Structure 1
């Protein structure tokens, strides 16, 4: 059985973005309007905006902004942002293969094998005498309420696809704020299955 590497799947060199809790990721800031997100994201590559289906009437309408790499036009989105009509940008997802690398205090979060990330997270928590958190699906990550780790299928492996979130209108927690589109196992609307 062979496992595909990022190179096998056409991954491009990754940008490195900084995560600032409750502030944003890279150039994207929580609370940005749809126009601001499109303008900012457009400096990195082509964007596509679509309205998300409203699964819960408690939430205001939201839009999905997909950002693709200039170098790989036909690739899945490198970054996906979710913008609420009520609160602006509230969720940023980095694709496991094509997305920018984002770290939490030196702990690389994007595109890692989930077992390796769990091991690294446990070591980080022990070294820094801090907690770690598991998602309801069992994925380990830093104990930061603004980070929800998800899985993305890459070939035969599951890789980490972090969501950086702030609470949106009508939600109690970041987990409650997660867009419905991100609930699917593998989370990738266009899975990287080879």
Structure 2
């Protein structure tokens, strides 16, 4: 865990969450894509497993693991494919590790600020794309940003995938990213009706209603 500089206000709370450097398509902090469940657990000895769950209603072989640091508050979600390999990691916007890419903190940030930052990255990095439900990301980085409720507002929740799973990762329908990671608040878009700001909306209930529910 990187040290944090002292706050300007001595009475202010210090963010003690771990700071993880992101190596696009390869690793998020100590986690390397392709790890087994046992290897991922060994890489995070201070983490507490809160639960395991089915991460996708259409692919029961995809396993999700919810972790807390160090309490049971949800902080990190790991996803393993049918071969038991780590292929996707998502940080909780409120409690998750501070995922840092090129000096920018991707976790718990302002959606408008992060979207602007993505749009200004060099063309050589890859092009900014938006999925069918408006989530921004860059496939060449294996990165998608989601919006999550945080203290009455929306903050960013980074979702990262490995190289083998990065193709079309921004596309909600074609991506390897598990279905549960698309559930919840949509990326803030001007003019979006209130009933359409979350997915599934009340007008379009999920086809798996009553059979499966996401973890958050």
Specify the TM-score bucket, using the shorter chain as the normaliser.
0.7 to 0.9
1:137 corresponds to which of 133, 138, 157: 133
Specify the alignment match of 1:161 in structure 2: 157
Q: Does 1:85 align with 2:88?
A: no
Specify the alignment match of 2:48 in structure 1: 46
8 Å CA contact retained: 1:125, 1:132: no
Residue 30 of structure 1: how far off its partner (Å): 0.7
Specify the alignment match of 2:65 in structure 1: 65
Could you tell me the TM-score, scaled by structure 2's length?
A: 0.67
8 Å CA contact retained: 1:104, 1:142: no
Specify the alignment match of 2:182 in structure 1: 183
**Root-mean-square deviation over aligned CA pairs:** 3.0
User: In terms of Rg, which structure is larger?
Assistant: 2
Q: Which has the higher contact order (CA 8 A, sep 6+)?
A: 1
Equivalent-residue separation in structure 1 for 2:167 and 2:25 (angstroms): 15
Summarize the alignment of residues 75-154 of structure 1 with structure 2, pairs less than 5 Å apart: 75=73, 77-86=74-83, 88-125=85-122, 131-142=127-138, 144-154=140-150
Residue 61 of structure 1: how far off its partner (Å): 0.7
8 Å CA contact retained: 1:68, 1:78: yes
Q: 1:104 to 1:53 in 2, by over 3 A?
A: closer
Equivalent-residue separation in structure 2 for 1:133 and 1:62 (angstroms): 25
Q: Report Cα offsets for 1:132-159 as digits up to 9, x if no partner.
A: 2333332444563400111111132111
Q: Report Cα offsets for 1:104-154 as digits up to 9, x if no partner.
A: 22232111111121233334458x896323333324445634001111111
Runs of 5+ consecutive residues of structure 1 not aligned to the other structure: 1-9
Specify the alignment match of 1:3 in structure 2: none
Q: Report Cα offsets for 1:42-66 as digits up to 9, x if no partner.
A: x13211341315522xx57122122
Number of residue-to-residue matches in the alignment:
172
Equivalent-residue separation in structure 1 for 2:25 and 2:151 (angstroms): 33
- Secondary structure of 1:116's counterpart equals helix
Equivalent-residue separation in structure 1 for 2:92 and 2:56 (angstroms): 23
Could you tell me the TM-score, scaled by structure 1's length?
A: 0.74
- Secondary structure of 1:13's counterpart equals coil
